[in-house]
Amino acid sequence: MRGYFLRRFLLIVPTFIGITLAVFVIMHFVPGGPVERQIMRFQMANAQGVGTVNRGRVELPEEAVAEITRYYGFDKPVYIRYASWLWKVLHLDLGQSYVYQEPVWNIIKARFPVSLTIGLTGFILSYVICIPLGVMKAVKHGSKFDLVSSVIVFLGYAVPGWALGTLLLVLFGGGSFWDVFPLGGFRSDNWEYLSGWEKIVDQTQHMFLPVLCYMVGEFATLTILTKNALMENMAQDYVRTAFAKGLHKRRVIFVHALRNSLIPLATGLGSVFSLILAGSFLIEKVFNIDGMGYLGYNAILQRDYPVALGILVIGSLLMLIGNIISDVIYAIVDPRIRFR
């Protein structure tokens, strides 16, 4: 096991360095980045008589150029600048937001509970619904139920979550013919003044449509994967032996065959660490939910590079950690797997 984690670590480190190096280059040299913004500040100060104009070009004073060079470390080798920036990232110092004028980590941290709640709810419901549905489809393979459910599942898979969200808001959102759910948001404005039961109802109404849109994309994958895995195990010798011993059909399916059929699904459990960035930027935009997706969407439109790239770095790190967790879960579910 020690050798496995060592190999994984040796794979994660260069991957993370490559991602952060790309972010570092974008942060420092992309048009509209922090260096250009700093120059624009001095150019604005030029209008007040700080700089000079030579043939239509704004020339910054030497002290301004020296300040920019010293602040961004252009007087040092690029690898030292990158190492210094990476050290700050590892300490969750992701810079200052251009729009909010606050530390990026504080802005991202404030959106964690919203996206995590919606993402975790959709994640759990997907497995709770799709596994029994996949079992029923495997048991009733070729029946009318199998055909109709397959059509519905793949129809939902073909529709993007954000497009489905728009349709659901038109049909069931506030002000529509069926006024069942609010038009958007994570909670009502008067949340603090609601009773305990009213808070549960209000939260459910606000989360129902977004969670449904998050889940629709995973329905086909999880359901068909469960069905195919179960059908494959039902054809194995150990299942036929269990039937030959006179075991009840339900016991054979749910105790023997289903456990081995869940092994492929268990590998996806590690992605729970990336649920902070669950779903799509567009889904949170459609439902006006102030979570990580909506924050990233606005950061891209407003060219708020520190926030957008900070989300990228955190998401990449969580995905790398999730891959290791998936392998560990895979080994726990399947005793035949051994780390070497």
pLDDT digits (tens, 9 = 90+) for 70-80: 766 667 777 88
Residue in 319, 315, 277, 308 with CA at minimum distance from that of residue 27: 308
Contact present, 178 and 281 (Cβ < 8 Å): no
DSSP string covering 254-299: IIIIHHHHTHHHHGGGGGGGGGGG-S-HHHHHHTT--SHHHHHHHH
CA distance linking residue 106 with residue 298, whole number of Å: 16
161, 244, 280, 305 from 157: Cα distances, Å: 9, 39, 14, 32
Residue 92 has pLDDT above 50, yes or no: yes
- Give the mean model confidence (pLDDT) for residues 190-213: 88
Strand 57-59, strand 52-54: pairing? antiparallel
Among 86-95, 145-154, 331-340, the range scoring the smallest mean pLDDT is 331-340
Separation of CA 48 from chain center: 46
- For the ranges 82-86, 277-281, 295-299, the lowest mean pLDDT is seen at 277-281
d(CA 115, CA 278): 7
Mean pLDDT of the chain: 79
Q: Is the pLDDT of residue 66 over 60?
A: yes
Task: Report the C-alpha gap between 131 and 339 in whole angstroms.
Answer: 28
pLDDT score, position 55:
47
Over range 216-231, report the average pLDDT. Answer: 84
Q: What is the pLDDT of residues 237-292, one digit of tens each?
A: 888 888 888 888 888 888 778 877 877 777 667 666 666 564 577 888 889 888 88
Who has greater pLDDT, 229 or 30?
Answer: 229
First-to-last CA distance in the chain? 5
Distances from the Cα of 222 to the Cα of 23, 71, 103, angstroms: 34, 50, 39
**Residues 281 and 210 sit within 8 Å (Cβ to Cβ):** no
- The pLDDT assigned to 2 comes to 65
CA distance 296 to 306: 10
Give the architecture (CATH level 2) of 104-333.
Answer: Orthogonal Bundle (1.10)
H helix runs in the chain, sequence order: 2-29, 34-46, 62-71, 78-90, 104-139, 144-158, 161-172, 196-234, 237-244, 249-251, 258-261, 263-266, 281-286, 292-301, 305-333
Looking at the DSSP bridge assignments, the partners of residue 96 are 103
Tokens standing for residue 191: 């949340």
Within the chain, all domains assigned CATH 1.10.3720.10 are found at 104-333
